[in-house]
Structures are given as C-alpha cells and as structure tokens.
Amino acid sequence: MSDHEGLGERIAGARRGLVQAGIDALLVTPGADLRYLTGYDALPLERLTCLVLPASGEPCLVVPALEEPAAHASPVSRLGVQIVPWQELENPVALVAGILSGSGTTATTIALDDHMWAEKVLAFRAAMPHAQQVLAGPVLRQLRMRKNTAEIQALRDAGEAIDRVHARMGQWLRVGRTEREVGRDIADAIIAEGHARVDFVIVASGPNGASPHAEVSDRVVEAGDTVVVDIGGTTEAGYCSDSTRTYSLGNPPDEVSDYYSVLLRAQVAACEHARPGVTAESVDAAARDVIAAAGYGEAFLHRTGHGIGLETHEDPYIVAGNSTVLEPGMAFSIEPGIYLPGKHGARIEDIVVVTDDGIERLNLGPRELAVLPT
C-alpha cells in the first residue's frame, strides 16, 4: 500500500479509539488488522510478530530477526514505526511486556487482535498477569468499516476482476463435466483475471445447490441442472472479491424460474433500500420480506450479507438484530438465496458500497438466471 499518510492516520485513529475505550495498549499479530494499520502483510508464523501500540507513546513492531528485512521493505519503516528485531534465543513475549512497562504506561487493560493465536494470547497473559485482556475488534472495526477512496477503488478493481470470471463461465460450465473440473478452471481464471490468491470456489449443481456452502464434488453436471457459482479471491492490494451468480444448463424447470424471479426482486429491493441512515438489519428485512411474502421464507437460510475489505467476511453484517446505521464508505454483500433441499437452489450476490445518497454496486454482471447451452 502506497498511502503512507493514510496508514499513519489509521494508527492515530486506533490510538484515539484506545483512549476513548479506556484501553492502555493494543497488540496486533499478523493478519488483516496488522495489514490495515501498517501495510505489512506479515507471515503468520510460530515466531512472534507483533505491533505494540500504547495509547500514549510511540508504536513499535516486534519481529523475528530473520523477518526484519521484509518488515523494512514494507510501509512500516516509512511510517515512523520502530522495528524491533528479536534473536532466536530471546523471549519475544517478554520483550513485548518490557516495551509496555518501559513506555511510561501502566498497562492494566490490553486489547488483542481478534484472530490472535491462542498460544500467543496465553503467553501474553502469563507474561502480564495483572493486565486485563480484551478484544481489539470493537476499536478496530469502527475504523475498518468505513473505507476510504483508495480502499473503495481496490474493492471496485476486485469486483471487476471477479465479474470477468463470471462472464467466461460458459467456457467451463458444461454438461458432462464434474463440479471439481469446473472449479479448477474457475480457480485458474480468478488468478488470470487479476487476483493474487483464490479464496474459495463453490460450484453447486442440482441438489448440491440447496447447500449454501457446498464444496465442489465429483458430481457430473447434467442437462436441466441449476448451478450456483460463488467465487472470490484477494488482489495484490489485499482487498477481496465475492460474487455469486446462478446458471441453468438449458431451460430451467418452471419451479426454478418462479422462485428465481422472487429472488431477483428481493435482491433488487435490498439494493434499492440500502443507503446512509438505514440500519443493517433493515437491508436484511428488505430482501427477506419479499422472499417470505412469496412463501419461501424458510428457504432463505442465512443473513443477507457481510462486510468485505481486507477480509471476505468482516463488519458490518447485514442480519436481523444488527442496528448499525449505514454510513458512506461501508462495503458489504447483498446476497439473498432460496434453497430447496434435495432439489436445487439459487443465490444472487453483489458487493456494494454506501455512497452519500445510496449505494454503488461493485458487481455489474447480469443478475438474471443465466441459461447456458447444453
């Protein structure tokens, strides 16, 4: 990430959040939170890498000595964050504890990133037994939920890349091929069309489409099948794509056509409802009410959406009970589905970002049921 000034503001924002929450320090190990705050996409290793951010005092990054060159090559060194290497026979957890005790801050409450490995959580607890450990999520999610211009463009690029993969689906999704064979071709295309990594490929044909998270299998695609294709990856910039389209091999059964029209109305209704000032749960209701009114309420098995950014699933979640008020810059999926066990299923998923007066859809491929030749 080249937006060093923006990264500096993220660290400052995290510090303000710590002060407001009455937290003395933040510890962040490799993962999306570390990349968000520093731009450093560190390897998650058994050797400790940890950003140490006191609420008052200067941050530093504790790294294994053998990872010091990679840390210096990242934006960390240009952010004014001191890089503190530790040698193979040193105790890095004790080093972190010493940094906090020497920072002038009495660390009685320490926030740990939500995905820190348990072995490191417990090691920090043993090294600082008098400090209360709390989750960093409540502080960091307030920053990460609101994407800036550069992040929105990164998500837009990811959406365009995954749209190009869906546009090529007719090349691979054909009668007589297995889901696994189709999935391999899709995975190759995800990389070819602009992603650095494949995160998931769902090719759920026929009755497998009734399972929202079906794994690819050796089932052979047949004429008349409905196929749910949910795919996503991560770009070099670190931002994720996620889009679902439903395909039919030849003309679909009347039942599928009927409920797909309901599903499309529900997805469009949720997209039209989403805007600044409405709640996340109201977007879920906008889709769910259409599906329930048509008699398919019990067939809509999951929430309407999830936030997306440096992780495929992050805040805000578009689900009943989430009263988060949408604000410009929030990005999330809108993906209602209808699933009939033993028969088939369908889902339509777009990533959207909240604008000043509505949303921008970042997936622009056709949302209608795509009929492919047999």
Q: pLDDT tens, 66-90? A: 999 999 999 998 898 999 999 999 9
Tell me, what's the pLDDT at 80?
86
**Span 276-330, pLDDT tens digits:** 999 999 999 999 999 999 999 999 999 999 999 999 999 999 999 999 999 999 9
Confidence class for position 1, pLDDT limits 50, 70, 90: very low
Query: What share of the chain has pLDDT > 90, as a percent?
Result: 94
Q: Is the pLDDT of residue 104 over 80?
A: no
Q: At what angle do helices 254-273 and 280-293 cross, to 10 degrees?
A: 150
Tell me, what's the pLDDT at 367?
98
Q: Alpha-carbon Rg of the chain, whole angstroms? A: 23
User: What's the whole-number mean pLDDT along residues 263-276?
Assistant: 98
| Superfamily in which the 4-144 domain is placed by CATH | Creatinase/prolidase N-terminal domain (3.40.350.10)
Tell me, what's the pLDDT at 202?
98
Q: Is the pLDDT of residue 193 over 80?
A: yes
How many C-beta atoms surround the C-beta of residue 27 within 10 A?
Answer: 24
Q: What is the CATH topology of the domain spanning 149-372?
A: Creatine Amidinohydrolase (3.90.230)
Q: Is the pLDDT of residue 106 over 80?
A: no
Q: Do domains 4-144 and 149-372 have the same CATH topology?
A: no
Q: Answer whether 347's CB lies under 8 Å from 212's CB.
A: yes
Computed over every residue of the chain, the mean pLDDT equals 96
Here the tokens at position 370 are 């795509």
Q: Is the pLDDT of residue 122 over 50?
A: yes
Confidence class for position 103, pLDDT limits 50, 70, 90: low
**Span 202-230, pLDDT tens digits:** 999 999 999 999 999 999 999 999 999 99
Q: Is the pLDDT of residue 366 over 70?
A: yes
Domain boundaries, the chain: 4-144, 149-372
Confidence class for position 2, pLDDT limits 50, 70, 90: very low
Confidence class for position 186, pLDDT limits 50, 70, 90: very high
